[in-house]
Amino acid sequence: MNQNKPVVGITMGDAAGVGPEIILKSLAYEEMYQISAPLVIGDSKILERAKSFVNSELVIKSVSAEELDQVSYQFGTVHCLDLNLLPSDLPVGQVSPDAGHAAFEYLRTAIELAKEQKIDAICTAPLNKEALQKGGHKYPGHTEILADLTDTEDFSMMLSAPNLKVIHVTTHVGIIDAVKMINPERVYHVIKLAHETLEKAGISSPKIAVCGINPHAGESGLFGYGEEEEKVIPGVEKAQAEGINAVGPLPADTLFFRAVRGDFDIVVAMYHDQGHGPVKVLGLDAGVNITVGLPIIRTSVDHGTAFDIAGKGIADEKSLMEAMRQAVELAPKK
């Protein structure tokens, strides 16, 4: 059985992508077993196939949900809660409704295990949004599934990279819809989530910088139609009134430089590309995606399924390894 290390459920994501490969490459490092008890939630036969892609000598062992309490997690053996949903000859690097449905089921199973406290955190390999929807699940991505299946209304996506953390007011919506969705209450709630998340991580009175929506944060009405004054400033002021160390709205074009320099502990971005772009400039293998506000811990790689290189064994495992470390750091302490 596990010796006081957090059990991290690693969902396999879209099996036609690089998920199975980066899981095996990550679990080939003994460090992952020194800090955690990793349990893959997916299809054992897909992992077996992926061994040939990455020249792995790891042993794949299938387990059932009933056996989880008896599993002894040891380096060299990868334990897989085998849902047995996919054929071993699933085409690699192609959109598949079957793979999309399976990715949903891996995550749904992980959420149930986390609710039942059979695992301590969830770490997700990437899924493909087109495959997910073709598989019958009309969600924009992982974050929205997690929120729906945990009945969470107040949540946000946080990206963590070296020297930069970013949390989002809106994520997977078009830019016009994003601007419509931004409002003072949402801005306030995301600032508060950032504050609470960083305080739990040991940062006292974290410094929070809030992006504007328009260039130069509107520059006193010169750009836009007063969105900052209407949608952002009241939310910042509400947070400040509660003693939260938040400033803004600030021009996004200089704000991220200042955050990387160390002026701020986290940046509140208004929409997807505003926050994702700066993080990904720092390196696709460096970013980790964390869903904050959930009743369970969830971290993820911050890259996609990479269908163009799937099956070639060249996908980089560094982001998944960092996501594992973050999951361990955030998991309830035993």
**Three-state secondary-structure class, residue 164:** strand
Q: What is the pLDDT of residues 117-155, one digit of tens each?
A: 999 999 999 999 999 999 999 998 888 899 999 999 888
Q: Are strands 156-161 and 288-292 parallel, antiparallel or unpaired?
A: antiparallel
Q: Which amino acid, 139? A: Y
Q: What is the pLDDT of residues 239-289, one digit of tens each?
A: 999 999 999 999 999 999 999 999 999 999 999 999 989 988 886 666 788
Q: How far apart are CA 326 and CA 201, in angstroms?
A: 11
Q: What is the pLDDT of residue 333?
A: 62
The CB density around residue 171, as the number of other CB atoms within 10 Å, is 17
For the purposes of burial, counting CB atoms within 10 Å of the CB of 70, is it exposed (0-12), middle (13-18) or buried (19 or more)? exposed
pTM of the model: 0.82
For the purposes of burial, counting CB atoms within 10 Å of the CB of 9, is it exposed (0-12), middle (13-18) or buried (19 or more)? buried
The CB density around residue 224, as the number of other CB atoms within 10 Å, is 18
Domain boundaries 7-152+295-330, corresponding CATH code: 3.40.718.10
Q: What is the pLDDT of residue 155?
A: 85
Domains 7-152+295-330 and 163-277 share a fold: yes
Q: What is the pLDDT of residues 83-120, one digit of tens each?
A: 999 999 999 999 999 999 999 999 999 999 999 999 99
Q: Which residues of 131-162 are buried (b: 16+ CB within 10 A; e: fewer)?
A: bbebbebebebbbbbbbebbeeeebbbbbbbe
For the purposes of burial, counting CB atoms within 10 Å of the CB of 114, is it exposed (0-12), middle (13-18) or buried (19 or more)? buried
| Contact between 131 and 307 (Cβ < 8 Å) | no
Q: How far apart are CA 194 and CA 66, in angstroms?
A: 37
Domain boundaries 163-277, corresponding CATH code: 3.40.718.10
Whether pLDDT at 3 is above 70? no
Q: What is the pLDDT of residues 198-229, one digit of tens each?
A: 887 778 999 999 999 999 987 877 888 889 99
Q: What is the pLDDT of residue 306?
A: 92
Strand partners, 62: 80
Please report, for residues 20, 131, 182, 276, the alpha-carbon distance to residue 140 in angstroms, rounded to integers and kept in the order given.
22, 11, 18, 16
Q: What is the pLDDT of residues 281-311, one digit of tens each?
A: 886 666 788 888 899 989 999 788 999 999 9
Domain spans of the chain, in order of start = 7-152+295-330, 163-277
Q: How far apart are CA 56 and CA 317, in angstroms?
A: 14
Edge to edge, the sheet with strand 37-42 lists 59-63, 77-82, 37-42, 7-11, 121-124, 298-301, 288-292, 156-161, 164-168, 266-269, 208-211, 246-250
